[in-house]
Structure 1
Amino acid sequence: MTIALEQIRQMPVVQRIQLVEDIWDSMVAEDVDFPLSSAQLAELDERRAAMAADSSIGIPWAEAKARLLAGQ
């Protein structure tokens, strides 16, 4: 199946999010290693430290996903 970028842009946001999830799931299913840059690793370390220091930072993935799908 080939989908042109213009076709994707015309899809409702909820469908585009689902498409991204489907694409991501297909890559994860292939057990591909995604190397991170040193800048990305440093950012993750900073975020982990911030979360460890204050557990009220952020929201659970299920809540974030629900907000995205609701268009918030």
Structure 2
Amino acid sequence: MDKEIGDIEKAALNLSTQERAHLVRRLIAGLDLGKDQDVEQQWLDEAERRLSDYRSGKTTARSAEEIFSEIEQKFS
């Protein structure tokens, strides 16, 4: 399979810039992005949950400086 991909890559590199751009668009369009959309929705849900927890007082906010300082101390 690696040889096949190498052959395809070699052929693609011999295409004009416009043809390569067209090929790239077609290849990307053919990817299964459904899983990425699921992950994006999960992150949105998580962000909404965290905001809700913060607003209701279930959790507090900490500055990035505080967090990075804590991490640096822990791993130094």
* TM-score normalised according to structure 2 size: 0.41
Higher RCO (Cα < 8 Å, 6 or more apart): 1
* TM-score normalised according to structure 1 size: 0.43
Larger-Rg structure: 2
